[in-house]
Structure 1
């Protein structure tokens, strides 16, 4: 049995303590994860449930897993402050970073649900940043309504992230169908246009045809996903 009792998060304003002191971005009021003073590239990215398999301080913890695998972070983020936020001075030689939670944005989910998961991604990212963690925004888009202005006056998928900064994206499982590929490429183009990032961390394969048009616009760093790494014998 889980040590946490699930609570109705709307009863307390969607965990309002997470965004105490935050600035809010755009018409939707998405909490803003601030651009770090130094843009530092992690040596590796490991999934949340595999984070204890490495001792390196240069490794960033990512959430590229089913949401149920990191549900404790979503439900009780305060339980991880000691682990994620207590660290030595951040330098290129010594970084303990986390990516904001990669909450699922299913394209067939209602837009309100997709926006709620964007909000939670940024709220928890801001929360850890406000407690001293080196947080890299994980950017995820769902259907076209999240990365265009077809319905909303702004591209919701990119709210809460500052321009000209460092971001992370995941490609694992994003090219299974033609529709998947279309939305990934369209969302990537929208992200590059909206955020104009300086550094893009890519967890998973980095197809040259998909990413080629942007390689002169930003520095892209690819990290093999955990499944590929394990199959290749690199643990």
Structure 2
């Protein structure tokens, strides 16, 4: 037997390699996160890097967010199954917020969007209450960054870190953010929007804003 050929056949059937376990949408095959009938009014957030394997604190009403540095996110995509039980202790889970920088190649932006959707689809399949995090860069990203999210879903966005990471002025960031936000509303028509950070007044009444400093205090 040709061992190398056998190994290749086994690997091609491994879902962790192919990442083809869930239904997809769009030409880039983004895993679909199904719409959940959740209410995020009064939401309380906790950072993903603050959660514990067995959390004895009063956490059942908290929602886990992944608005953290990218180097802290790889573990969730590499082994999403390792975090199912840990995340199941909390009310809801956002999907990882992999960066979409304006000077990042589109191929990497597509991959980062896929990774976020895949984690959400995996955790939702396990029974967790998942809220998709939506990110975008320029209008070129609209071709993929809203895929995998059903119409009328509750979603999360962030206004934190955009100025520093994208090297934009405050006015440039606001313009770019709102253009993407309005495109998101047109394509997804979210029922509620969780905004991590200060929301812009132009974003609409469906936005529930959780200030950055408040999430840090609550997470401790």
CA shift in 2, pair 1:189/1:75, >3 Å:
same
CA spacing shift, 1:168–1:234, aligned 2, 3 Å: closer
Are 2:137 and 1:138 aligned?
Answer: no
Counterpart of 2:150 in 1: which secondary structure?
coil
Higher relative contact order (CA 8 A, sep 6+): 2
Aligned to 1:92: none
For 2:60, the equivalent position in structure 1 comes to 57
Task: Tell me if structure 2 keeps the 8 A contact 1:101–1:121.
Answer: yes
CA offset at residue 17 of structure 1?
6.6
Structure having the higher Rg: 2
Partner of 1:46: 46
Cα RMSD (Å) of the superposition? 2.5
Secondary structure class of the residue paired with 1:56? coil
Shift of residue 71 of structure 1? 2.7
Matches within 5 A, 1:69-218: 69-85=72-88, 96-147=91-142, 155-175=143-163, 177=169, 178-208=171-201, 210-211=202-203, 214-215=204-205
TM-score of the two chains, using structure 1 as the length reference = 0.76
Could you tell me which runs of 5 or more consecutive residues in structure 1 were left unpaired when the two chains were aligned: 1-10, 88-94, 148-154
Q: Name the structure where helix makes up a greater proportion of residues.
A: 2
SS at match of 1:79: helix
Query: Using the alignment, how far apart are the partners of 1:26 and 1:55 within structure 2?
Result: 40
Pairwise CA distance, 1:173: 2.2
- How many pairs were matched up? 200
Change (3 A) 1:16 1:25: farther
Distance across 1 between alignment mates of 2:158 and 2:73: 16
Asked if the contact 2:199/2:209 (under 8 Å) is kept, the reply is yes
Query: Residue 158 of structure 1 aligns to a residue in which SS?
Result: coil
The answer to whether the Cα contact below 8 Å between 1:164 and 1:197 also exists between their aligned partners in 2 is: yes
Q: Distance in 2 between matches of 1:113 and 1:70?
A: 15
- Residues 58-95 of structure 1, C-alpha deviations (whole Å, 9 max, x = no match): 1111110111123321222121121124x5xxxxxxx6
The two structures have a TM-score, normalised by structure 2, of 0.81
Q: Do the aligned residues in 2 keep the contact of 1:138 with 1:167 (CA within 8 Å)?
A: yes
Contact 1:108–1:143, Cα closer than 8 Å, also in 2 = no
**3-state secondary structure, aligned to 2:182:** helix
Distance (whole Å) between structure 1 residues aligned to residue 63 and residue 123 of structure 2? 14
